[in-house]
Structure 1
């Protein structure tokens, strides 16, 4: 196996080491390998290609020190064909949460998620994607 040198803040390395120990990994290399596989595989899932998809994206940010809320509003308008719903809520003392519900194909949803992730000053970005046709007819529920 090839050995790779990676630079990262000490705090992140400490968190990786703690995570490794708490979750039974053999070491930080195993954690980094799994994280890399997950990141690369996010939108490479062949099951998602050529299908109508639903996505949910959650963004948390500090509203007192950033312009993230304005940027989220601009993204919503720029992608109004994909964003079918948007919910804004205040959480904690000075944080906001934006929740987006998306419908579209893999390229449309991955483009939106990529732009959200690239938005400076977001604290967390979380999302899930699944094929809409996996639900089947309502009679089967």
Structure 2
């Protein structure tokens, strides 16, 4: 098995070690391997491929982290064909940015991946809805 070096902040390493211990993993490598498998397969969902999708992407970061705010604003403009709207809120000592996004799985996957790669973003979560599965009311 190949060995891969990964740089992480000390806080994340501490959390990784604690997680491995609390969940009875054999060590960091086992946790990282499982995380990578999950991340890679996350958007490999036949049920959602080649379908029009809508979703909400939530991004949480520390209040006052202007570098994140600037990057998210640029990202909104870079993906303007897919970002339908955004909302910004304060939640405790954090900021939360919500993106309503439309597109195919590949478009949304690229957007979420880019957001996740932004330094100082604490968490990114999303929900997706296939638009062609939404029942439309009949008109009379």
Write the distance in 2 (CA, Å) between the matches of 1:44 and 1:101: 21
Residue in structure 2 matched with residue 29 of structure 1 by the alignment: 29
RMSD: 2.7
Residue in structure 2 matched with residue 110 of structure 1 by the alignment: 109
SS, match of residue 3 in structure 2: coil
Task: Check 1:68–1:105 CA distance in 2 against 1; reply closer, same or farther (3 A cut).
Answer: same
Q: Say if 2:140 is the partner of 1:126.
A: no
Residue in structure 1 matched with residue 91 of structure 2 by the alignment: 91
Q: Say if 2:73 is the partner of 1:69.
A: no
Write the distance in 1 (CA, Å) between the matches of 2:14 and 2:69: 31
Shift of 1:51: 0.7
Write the distance in 2 (CA, Å) between the matches of 1:137 and 1:79: 28
SS, match of residue 84 in structure 1: strand
Task: Check 1:6–1:79 CA distance in 2 against 1; reply closer, same or farther (3 A cut).
Answer: closer
Aligned residues: 137
Gaps of 5+ in 2: none
Residue in structure 2 matched with residue 82 of structure 1 by the alignment: 82
Do the aligned residues in 2 keep the contact of 1:66 with 1:121 (CA within 8 Å)? no
With the length of structure 1 as denominator, give the TM-score of the two structures. 0.75
Deviations 1:58-106 (A, max 9, x none): 112234242322332332233233122321101224x311011111112
Residue in structure 2 matched with residue 17 of structure 1 by the alignment: 17
Gaps of 5+ in 1: none
Do the aligned residues in 2 keep the contact of 1:63 with 1:69 (CA within 8 Å)? no
With the length of structure 2 as denominator, give the TM-score of the two structures. 0.75
